[in-house]
Amino acid sequence: MKNKKKKKKGNIIPDGIIVVDKPEGKTSTQIDNLVKKKLKVKKLGHIGTIDPFASGVLPIAIGKATKFIPYLIDKDREYIAEILLGKRTDTDDITGSVIYSIDEQELKKN
C-alpha cells in the first residue's frame, strides 16, 4: 500500500497586495480578520490604519508580501476630509461629546 500524501490547504490566492475599500464603522483589524477568513489566508497585515469612523482604501499585504510593509508604511498619503467649524468634542473627532460650540453668526464675525 502506497503512502498517500495529503494536500496542504494553502492560500486560495498567491502572495501579494490587495486593496480593500474599508467602510465606515469597521476597524482595520476587523477588515484583516474578514479577509483572512474569506480568503483562507494565515499571514497578512494592513499597510497603515484607518480610523473606524472613516472609509477609504486599505492595502493589505498577504503572505510573503508582508515583508514589504515596513518599506511602504512611511510613504506619503493623501486624505480628503470634511471639517466642521465651531464645535469641539472631548475626543477631538466626531465620536465624542460636544464640549464647546459657537454660533455660526459668531464664526462669521471673526
Span 49-62, pLDDT tens digits: 788 888 899 999 99
* pLDDT above 70 for 27: yes
- For the chain, where are the E strands, in sequence order? 16-22, 44-46, 56-62, 87-89, 98-101
Q: How far is 59 from 77, CA to CA, in rounded Å?
A: 12
Among 15, 21, 32, 51, which one carries the catalytic annotation? Answer: 51
Let me know if residue 9 belongs to a domain: no
Indicate if 76 belongs to the active site: no
pLDDT, one tens digit per residue, over 55-102 is: 899 999 999 999 999 888 877 878 788 888 889 999 988 889 999 998
- pLDDT at position 4 is 61
Let me know if residue 7 belongs to a domain: no
> What stretch of H or E contains 59?
strand 56-62
pTM above 0.85, yes or no: no
22 shares its domain with 63: yes
26 shares its domain with 62: yes
